[in-house]
Structure 1
Amino acid sequence: MRRTRSTAALVAAAVVAGGMALSSPAYADPTPAGTFRQLVGVGSDTTQDVLNALAGDTVNGKSYATTAVKSAAGAGVASYDAIEPGTGSTASNIQTRSGGPSFLRPNGSGKGRLALTDSLTGDKFPNADGVAIKGQVDFARSSSGPTVSGTALTYVPFARDALGVAVRGSGLEGLTKDQLHDIYSTANPTVNGVAVHPKIPQTDSGTRKFFLAAIGLDNSTINKDIPVVQENQGNAALTEDGDIVPFSVGSWIAQNNGTAPDYSKDAAAAGAHLATVQLPGDTGATSPVTTVNGKLAPVSGYYENSTFGRDVYNVVPTRAIDPTSIFFDKDLYDVFVTSGAHGAALATDDSEKVIADFGFLNEPYNGSVNLARHAKQGGLESSTVDTATPAAPALKATPGDKSVKLSWTAPAATALPLTDYRVTLTGSDGAVVAAKDLPASTTSYSFTGLAIGNYTATVTGNNLNGAGAAATWTGTVKYKSTTAATVATTPYGKVPKVAVTVTDSHGVVPTGKVTVKEGATVLGTGTLDGSGKVTVALSNHLKVATHTLTVSYPGTSKLYSSSATASLKVTKATPSVSTGAPTSVSHTAHAKVTVKVTATGTTPGGTVRIYEGTRVIATGTLSRGTVTITLPTLSRGTHTLHAYYAGSSTVSAKTGANFTIKST
């Protein structure tokens, strides 16, 4: 990476040039007093002035109304300073909504992110003794990245800044990372025989956090006796030779060029300036600033350095910039997010000119929410927030015709209430086919119009911490098939025939076998013809009864299985009774009558009676459908007789035709 070098003389010239432009006009929060806008931001000192300008307010006597950023629907930005305008008080209150509560002004990146968190959760800000501020803040200005892991908040890069060290006096040029580490970790540090008096911004400052991390320290390893000063205010921090304090290079440039309200004029007049720094891996010193046409300007090589260069962010709720979420805020998205063909209002040419005027570098990734392109995600920033996310719901999936219906029961409650469900369907290649965000009151959803194939569906219950554990279903989506079956009442002994038709509404001809069962017993199978039909013949010896049949089609790679029921009534067979007897017989002899009973598909058995009128005169038992019965002697005369078959469990009773025997 190319780096621009600068000598101490160049730095001194830059300070002089910057000092000539210093001024101290009045400035304010959104003006005029009582102005309320839709998108409320609080937090970092470093970016407050440029956000005020982008919001269209007057900054350091200049109105930026003509370049105010707004959403497509006209929603504007309200940016509230970290300290009270005019007084510098860190204990003043702000009111961000008409009729809303008045609450302590968030001072610095950390407090801004905490206020955004409490605005989401409804907790009191800045602590339990504060004020509930639900819905009062929409974004936080932050000059550092996340301090809490999670996905609730997205850090959208807004511009590129750098961290320099502002010093007063000489002898503190070309400091290395190791020297800065020692200055801020030891008591009474000296450099090249010069006594150094380090200062550090307030605890919740993003500049403090970033600087300490850059030099290998944190709040637990820094020298606890170092005085704390308000971020980016040189007058208060640089009061004597040997003073040193981390300082936003962008803020130093904007103040010294007269673009931003001045907090460093007196210090700069007394010799305060941004020192050169030996960047890691370099052998010489690099100045963070240069002069262009008498104005301070960034040195890009310093800004792009991975140790001292930094992205600055606008922090927004992740779900609010997700177009698929039920909490999607189109106005917030329009102003802050660049994604695909959608460009952030903060990344227009007019906006980037304002950003550059305030000492920052514009980057091609400004506004990107791609985590591979400088965007970051973090958790809610409150020590009192339970970080648990919901357990997996209990999921049931019912595949349908080109569809799948998901239904579930809610997971156990967490400290933060369930806010929504995210339902996602992916194909066999892992690509997302469809996704839907649903209110917490919803417990089912159907994906329809799907192509045939294998899918995986997941359902997560979500709260403000993010997505919970996923309930998962994997299965196949096919076309619906419909099976219909009919069967006629059938006498015992005849073959029952089940007419089966399998149909589909998508032009796929059903193929394969169908199976007919009674309970678990298979009664018959058949193969569908080219029109999806088959007649299945059953046994002709099903018992006489009403049979409930289940006709099953197993499906194919494109069709679901289906089934139908049919009621088969098997009745008793209708027999035929024939007799063979002599036409005459002696009154002393015993005539023999042969009776034959037949029925289709069965050989009747059972009892046959010979009647004369209504009187039974002889009986016999069928054997193989035939019986010869010996009659008693008959008195002289003509006797009219008939045979009667008494029937069986499978054959109905039947009376034969009359026949006569003459007894002589």
Structure 2
Amino acid sequence: MRRTRSTAALVAAAVVAGGMALASPAYADPTPAGTFRQLVGVGSDTTQDVLNALAGDTVNGTSYASTAVKSASGAGIASYDAIGSATIQTRSGGPSFTRPNGSGPGRTALSSSLTGDKAVATDSATIKGQVDFARSSGGPSTSGNALTYIPFARDAVGVAVRGPGLDTLTVAQLFDIYKSGGVRTLNGQTLHPVLPQSGSGTRKFFLNAIGLTEGTVDTTLPTVQENQANAALTEDGALAPFSVGSWIAQNNGIAPDYSSTAVSAGAHLASLQLPGDTGATSPVTTVNGKLTPVAGYYENATFGRDVYNVVPSRTIDTTSVFFDKDIYDVFVTSGSHEAALASDNAENVIAKFGFLNESYNGSVNLAKHAKVGGLENGLTNATPGKPTLKTTAGDASLKLSWTPNALAPVLPVTDYRLTLTDKDGAVVATKDLPTTTTSYSFTGLATGAYTATVTANNLNGTGTAATWTGTVKYNSTTKATTATTPYGKAPKVAVTVTGSHSVAPSGKVTVKEGATTLGTGTLSSTGKVTVSLSNHLKVATHSLTVSYGGNTKLNASSAKISLKVTKATPSVATSAPTSVKHTVRAKVTVKVTATGTTPGGTVRVYQGSKVIATGTLRAGKVVITLPKLSKGRHTLHAYYAGSTTVNGRNGANFVIKST
């Protein structure tokens, strides 16, 4: 329920530049006192009354409780007027802050609610989380993407005048009247132009429509609260820009009356010659005794305007961690989702307050009247720098890991946005993550080429993207076995590669020791191959890496194995005479052989345990001359002492008879 109270005590505080009082018979906030609703809105007084009605409150004596707009979960609107008490409190236990009066202050308050700053510099407390949307009769004042301006209805700006000489006006005449040092008589009528208060969306729109700015307008003109004819049109020759919707709603008794005294004295909306027309067009007409909009005037590009509800862009992004379903339900029409404010009941209320309903009400499509803008509380609009990105392609998956950019902007990073697109640029997946998370995996992907981006975001919008482009495949598994192998014999490595998702592997495998390639092989149709290595690997335990290079559908994989190469086992053969005179030195031929190698080294001839002669192998063979043997039978044997690659070994005994 909304309570209406007298503001006589507030009039003295409502004096603005020019000395006029902002005469206002009543104001309204959500009541009873202590009532708080979830979706808090502040700002423009052009749309405050219709938003009050859509909140389900009582406006000008009529209750709109039966048509109150709510989200699917039941969250309702709390709409705080542009004028009233000096401060407002919008949350239970929350701070009191200066009441935002007009579109600009409303957007500033919304911005400060996001950043955790004060509504105005003179306030004592910050207002983080105290405002959810701003009513605005104009578009953005700063560039950026932090705020989305959702069209709510169509309004128009006319010129409210008092005096018979001001029935018809042109854009050129309005330019001359309001410019610095402007004219002060027209058609014999002394002129008394006034403007809405600073920060008013209607003021900004009107000046732009007639070709002026705050730098070229007559700064000596008095200002009054916008859309209040009683305060603005106090004498003949007075004129002021006015929301046509507000004029209709007040004069039809729908909205609180700020204009009847002036109307009784002859105030009315002037007909304007619209650019490109030869005649003048009235903004309103009368149907069954009630004022109603003239569609052609509202649709005119110069004086017709969209009015907006401004929300934080991230709250209506369905992929954002800050997505707010209640705000989305109430304000956004997208696809099959209809904004509660665009329902038939809501549009009936909107029309009742003098606005036109359009097909794009609730649209967030920038091609269909929606707009975006930056924060409006004076903070920098800088976005975060590019993160440092690391990627790991897995089994039909891609893991992204990132390190934040060390150069942090004034506004901190609030979240990270990940986007994955295919080779044609189509978006495959997006993910928004809080700042506490710095890695994420996309899983269940088809094989193919992809591009992944990671951006750090803050309230100002999206930062510079870190980008990876590459291929996602299925995993492969490599297994390998080998056996202990003697030196001189080629070691064999049996390799089996399998692919996930039943994908048959193909291609080559490589066996390396460190950076040295020892062998390669091509997989069979069953994913197997046996790789033969050199038969001259040194005697040692070798740490081998067996690698599969992958193919168009499979990732590379590898396995580590140990290969033990032992010394070769030789054969020792001797050839010696069976008898020799004791005066002659016998010669013994010793031949040492081993598979795959020619042994080298020392051969000794023993009689028992005594070495009686030695020789050195040449090409695996040596002839050793024995010392003179005493008469008798001598049992001898040759012993090969071995080498770094061949084991030592005794030859068979042989007998020489010395005579």
Determine whether 1:281 maps to 2:245. Answer: no
> What is the match of residue 37 of structure 1?
37
User: What are the Cα deviations for residues 91-122 of structure 1, in whole angstroms up to 9, with x where unaligned?
Assistant: 62211111211222111101111111111111
Q: 1:299 Cα shift?
A: 0.6
Q: 1:58 Cα shift?
A: 0.3
Determine whether 1:585 maps to 2:598. Answer: no
User: What are the Cα deviations for residues 428-453 of structure 1, in whole angstroms up to 9, with x where unaligned?
Assistant: 21222111111111111111111111
> What is the match of residue 532 of structure 1?
527
> What is the match of residue 297 of structure 2?
302
TM norm structure 2: 0.94
User: What are the Cα deviations for residues 38-90 of structure 1, in whole angstroms up to 9, with x where unaligned?
Assistant: 11111101000000000000001000000000011111101111111xxxxxx
Distance 1:128 1:611 in 2: 112
Distance 1:576 1:439 in 2: 74
Distance 2:111 2:249 in 1: 30
User: What are the Cα deviations for residues 155-212 of structure 1, in whole angstroms up to 9, with x where unaligned?
Assistant: 0100000011111111223322111111110334333333222110001100000100
**Residue among 201, 208, 211 paired with 1:206:** 201
Superposed, which structure 2 residues align to 1:532-611 within 5 Å? 532-611=527-606
User: What are the Cα deviations for residues 460-506 of structure 1, in whole angstroms up to 9, with x where unaligned?
Assistant: 11222122221111211111222222221111111111111122112
Determine whether 1:396 maps to 2:404. Answer: no
> What is the match of residue 146 of structure 1?
140
Distance 1:211 1:348 in 2: 30
Q: 1:363 Cα shift?
A: 0.5
Asked if the contact 2:97–2:123 (Cα under 8 Å) also holds between the matched residues in 1, the reply is no
Distance 2:67 2:592 in 1: 109
Asked if the contact 1:36–1:96 (Cα under 8 Å) also holds between the matched residues in 2, the reply is yes
Q: 1:27 Cα shift?
A: 5.7
Determine whether 1:365 maps to 2:360. Answer: yes
Distance 2:439 2:507 in 1: 34
Distance 2:133 2:81 in 1: 13
Distance 2:515 2:75 in 1: 68
Q: For structure 2, which runs of at least 5 residues remain unmatched after alignment? A: 1-23
> What is the match of residue 6 of structure 1?
none
> What is the match of residue 52 of structure 1?
52
User: 3-state DSSP class of the match of 1:226?
Assistant: coil
**Which amino acid in the other structure matches residue 56 of structure 1?**
G
Asked if the contact 2:144–2:461 (Cα under 8 Å) also holds between the matched residues in 1, the reply is yes
Asked if the contact 1:251–1:358 (Cα under 8 Å) also holds between the matched residues in 2, the reply is yes
> What is the match of residue 18 of structure 2?
none
Asked if the contact 1:321–1:330 (Cα under 8 Å) also holds between the matched residues in 2, the reply is yes
User: What are the Cα deviations for residues 214-249 of structure 1, in whole angstroms up to 9, with x where unaligned?
Assistant: 111111110111110110000111112211110000
TM norm structure 1: 0.93
> What is the match of residue 196 of structure 1?
191
User: 3-state DSSP class of the match of 1:506?
Assistant: helix
> What is the match of residue 21 of structure 2?
none
Q: For structure 1, which runs of at least 5 residues remain unmatched after alignment? A: 1-23, 85-90
Distance 1:146 1:501 in 2: 65
Asked if the contact 2:171–2:273 (Cα under 8 Å) also holds between the matched residues in 1, the reply is yes
**Which amino acid in the other structure matches residue 369 of structure 2?**
H
Asked if the contact 2:418–2:452 (Cα under 8 Å) also holds between the matched residues in 1, the reply is yes
Superposed, which structure 2 residues align to 1:54-453 within 5 Å? 54-84=54-84, 92-185=86-179, 186-383=181-378, 385-411=379-405, 412-453=407-448
Distance 1:463 1:539 in 2: 60
**Which amino acid in the other structure matches residue 370 of structure 1?**
N
> What is the match of residue 6 of structure 2?
none
> What is the match of residue 621 of structure 1?
616
Q: 1:130 Cα shift?
A: 4.5
Asked if the contact 2:27–2:83 (Cα under 8 Å) also holds between the matched residues in 1, the reply is no
Distance 2:337 2:190 in 1: 53
Distance 1:630 1:35 in 2: 121
Asked if the contact 2:448–2:471 (Cα under 8 Å) also holds between the matched residues in 1, the reply is yes
Instruction: Let me know the Cα RMSD of the aligned residues.
Output: 1.5
User: 3-state DSSP class of the match of 2:169?
Assistant: coil
Deviates most, 484-493 or 287-296? 484-493
**Which amino acid in the other structure matches residue 548 of structure 1?**
S
Asked if the contact 1:644–1:655 (Cα under 8 Å) also holds between the matched residues in 2, the reply is yes
Asked if the contact 2:98–2:123 (Cα under 8 Å) also holds between the matched residues in 1, the reply is no
**Residue among 504, 512, 524 paired with 2:507:** 512
Distance 2:42 2:511 in 1: 73
Asked if the contact 1:27–1:59 (Cα under 8 Å) also holds between the matched residues in 2, the reply is no
Distance 1:589 1:347 in 2: 127
Asked if the contact 2:613–2:624 (Cα under 8 Å) also holds between the matched residues in 1, the reply is yes
Deviates most, 179-188 or 218-227? 179-188
Q: 1:26 Cα shift?
A: 5.7
User: What are the Cα deviations for residues 331-365 of structure 1, in whole angstroms up to 9, with x where unaligned?
Assistant: 11111111111111101000000000000000010
**Which amino acid in the other structure matches residue 163 of structure 1?**
V
Instruction: Give the count of matched residue pairs.
Output: 634
User: What are the Cα deviations for residues 534-580 of structure 1, in whole angstroms up to 9, with x where unaligned?
Assistant: 11111112222222222222211111222222222221110011122
Asked if the contact 2:112–2:128 (Cα under 8 Å) also holds between the matched residues in 1, the reply is yes
Distance 1:155 1:31 in 2: 28
> What is the match of residue 16 of structure 1?
none
User: What are the Cα deviations for residues 263-322 of structure 1, in whole angstroms up to 9, with x where unaligned?
Assistant: 000111111111111111111111111111111101111101111000000001111111
Distance 1:584 1:134, change over 3 A: same
Q: Report the identity percentage.
A: 75
Distance 1:492 1:102 in 2: 89
Asked if the contact 1:608–1:621 (Cα under 8 Å) also holds between the matched residues in 2, the reply is yes
Asked if the contact 1:395–1:408 (Cα under 8 Å) also holds between the matched residues in 2, the reply is yes
User: 3-state DSSP class of the match of 2:464?
Assistant: strand
